[in-house]
Every structure is written in structure tokens, then in C-alpha cells.
Amino acid sequence: MSGSVNLHDLARLNPAARANLLKRSEADLGPFLDRVRPIIEAVRLEGDVALARFANEFDKSPVKASEIAATKSDFDAAFKAVEPEVIAAIEFAVENIRKFHTDQKPEEMWLHEMRPGAFAGDRFRPIPSVACYVPRGKGSFPSVVMMTTIPAVVAGVKNICVVTPPGPDGKIDAATLVAARLAGVDKVYKCGGAQGVAAVAYGTETVPKCAKIVGPGSPYVVAAKRLLADIIDPGIPAGPSESIIFADETVDGRLAALDLLVEAEHGQDSSAYLVTPSPKVAEAAIKALPDFWAKMSEQRVAFSSAVLTGPRGGVVLTPDVDSAMAFINDYAPEHLEILSDEPFAYLGRIENAGEVLLGKHTPVTLGNFVLGPNAVLPTSRAAMTHSPLSVFDYMKRISVGYVTSSGYPELAKHARVLATYEGFDAHANAVSEIRSNLLK
């Protein structure tokens, strides 16, 4: 580890320095947009040939244009390659994630009587198709497969596929294939990065054109989604990982440090803060980090230490709980963990967060893998206006209205007044005596 862990004393920061703490790595996508444009155009014009070329160039993976799709034998081999305990863990997670999203799924239709004889409501239908993006560059993520595909299956989406970068052996990560099959998805394609987004936006000889793409990714993926937003629904903003661990004075600082490393280890572009009003907790957390780093791999130490000593991480010491809550709400973190003997005392004060995990026995790890709620969450302050990925992201609402002959006159009278006021003659005529005479 190079450098020392940041300790930001919020009371001593001017507004500009405080604002800098809120920035994320994807804040300026300008350079990525420029690099992504030619990749998108190549995929649009060349299809599978471009996907194979980019797999070789970017992923150092010997993929041929004729081998973009995973085969049945690939799936079968994956189940033999993955350890039984890993398969069991995936099965456990699948069960919880499926239950959560099944409980979340709305009734097919609701219809309420707005006025006597006048009914209105919503009918929910699945979207026609979705591509689930599963990153691979900094690890393998069967958890992302489950979080993105299972709610789509529960929602009833007919055409679901997974796009993911191939490995240096030219193959798809085995656990990714296991998770896809257990979730109920058998279409997985070897195309990651901006080229994967372009593939499902335009369609290729092998990869189907999709109505929507969901899932987290690198700034290249985020940039491609932004450029292709008129072609494919880009879903919720889901960029590099970020978290805030809030800990009050009732918490052992070592526990806070342990959980601070969870999202920080994703990559150097992650963001991670411990926010606390307790100097004792802050000091203990910083002191404990080296012991935890000693129990991690060199790569994960490099990632997490870069975050905690860099511009988007560290410990934020606040003068009081109020300022801690204000900072958290301004930050609008993807993951928020509240460590306290009384975590529910703080829940009502949280306005902006992708998820809130309460208490000492609910680390982010559980939310990321097995608890059930979706771990694909809005990033880069998007939690101010966006929600976690859910079954609703794979469904659309169709408004439904029905007015009886007895309910019609009252509604028609008021509607005609408004139509006339706004100058819409046809609107007014449609609820005038003309209609009444035609219905006799």
C-alpha cells in the first residue's frame, strides 16, 4: 500500500473541498465517449466480426465470429467445472432473490372506482426483451447474473440474454453460465464493454437486438449506454461501485474498517467512505485496516488502498450526527450500511441511497449476494431520483379506464369545460351532445 488512508475532517472543509468528496469516477465521461464512438459504429456495420476483433484486442481472448454464443455443451461443462459448494451457494442465492422479486411483483391489474360508474387503474405487462450486462474485467460475477436475470424471469420477459466479456481462454466464466441456467436463462454471449452494449442495441448475426440493457459496468459501458440511449433503454445508471459505512459511537471501529473494504476492493475507480461523528471509531478503523489488508490478495489490496488513499475514499469525521446524515444524503450512495446498536433510529433520516443495510449483522456482502433485494443499484448520485433494479424495471404499466353510462355525464361535463378552455374543439365535441345523440 502506498500513501496513508485519508481522514477528512468535515468541520474543517470549505464548500469546494466538501463538494469534491461527492464526485465519482464516472463524473466526466468525455474521454470515454470519444473512444466508444468508433467501437459502436464498427459493431453496427460489421456485427459478429467486430465483436470477435474487439474480444481479441480488448479482452486478449481468442474468440471467433462463429463462436460468440455459449453452447449447451458450454453450460454442461460449466457445471462440472464449478465446485459443488459454489453451485450450492448460487442455488441458495437464486432461491432468495427469486422469492424477493416474486413478492415484489405487482398484480397483473388493479382497477378502482374513481367516481360512481367511472373506473381507472393500471395493467402490468413484461417488456419484450432485455440484455443483462455482466462485467468480468476485475473478477467473475455470477451474483450480477442472478440479480439481473431473475427479476426478468419473474416479470415474464420472453427474451432474456446475458452479455459478458470472454476470458483469456476464449470462454465465458463457468460460474456465470451456472448462474444463468439456474436462473432460467440459456442465451449468453461473449461480448463485453462498449461492443457488448452496441451488439444488443443494434443486433448482430448472433446477438439479438434488445429493448433494454441492465447491469453495472465500466465507464466504457456507461458511455456506450449514454450514446445509444435513443436506440436501447439504458436502464438505471450503474457504474463503478460505491459505498458509505456509517458508524456511531456504539460501534467497534475495527468492524467499520472491515466493511469499508467491501466495495473499495472492486477497483481503483470505486468510491468508499466511512462516515462517523466519533473520533474514536475513526482512529480505530484506520488503525485496523493494515491487519485486514494482510488477509487479502495483492490485487484487492491494491484496489482498496488506492480508493482509500485517493480522491474518492477514506474516513469522513463529522462534527455530529446531523452533519453525517446531511453528507450521506448529499452523497446518495449506491450502498449504505448503518452500524449502530440502534440502526433503525437512523433509517428515517436517510432520503437518498440505493440500499440501506441495517445493523452489525447486515454487511454489504449479504446484500450483494444472498439476502434477496437487488444489488444492482443506482450510482453517481442517481439514487436521488432512481431506485434499485427490480421486477418493475422489466415491466411496463398500461393505464386502463372504463366509464359506464351512468358515470359518463359527470365526467363529460367537466372534461368539456377544460377542453373548451384549452381550445380543443374535437376534444369538446367528443363529450358534447353530439356524442349523447349518437349513443341514443
Strands 213-214 and 129-133: parallel
Alpha helices in 47-133 (DSSP H): 48-58, 72-81, 84-104
Respond yes or no: is residue 335 known to be catalytic: yes
The four Cα atoms 332, 336, 342, 344 give a dihedral, to 10 degrees, of 60
* Amino acid identity, position 307: V
The grid coordinates listed for 60 are 486478449
**Residue 115 CA, distance from chain mean position:** 40
Respond yes or no: is residue 351 known to be catalytic: no
The answer to whether the CB of 206 falls within 8 A of the CB of 163 is no
Q: Starting at the edge strand that comes first in sequence, how are the strands of the sheet with 335-339 ordered?
A: 7-9, 313-317, 271-276, 242-247, 335-339, 355-358
Alpha helices in 231-274 (DSSP H): 253-264
> Closest by alpha carbon to 194, among 68, 345, 36?
36
> Which residue of the set 26, 67, 334, 355 is catalytic?
334
**410 Cβ contact partners less than 8 Å away, ≥ 6 residues apart:** 115, 116, 118
* Amino acid identity, position 174: A
Q: What does the DSSP 8-state code read for residue 70?
A: P
d(CA 213, CA 228): 10
d(CA 28, CA 40): 19
The four Cα atoms 353, 355, 359, 364 give a dihedral, to 10 degrees, of -120
DSSP string, 5-44: --EEEGGG--HHHHHHHT--TTS--HHHHHHHHHHHHHHH
Q: DSSP 3-state assignment of 113? A: strand
The answer to whether the CB of 336 falls within 8 A of the CB of 262 is no
> Which residue of the set 26, 335, 337, 355 is catalytic?
335
> Closest by alpha carbon to 13, among 333, 347, 384, 326?
326
Helices (H) and strands (E) in the chain, counts: 18, 13
The answer to whether the CB of 162 falls within 8 A of the CB of 189 is yes
Residues in the chain: 440
Residues known to be catalytic: 334-335
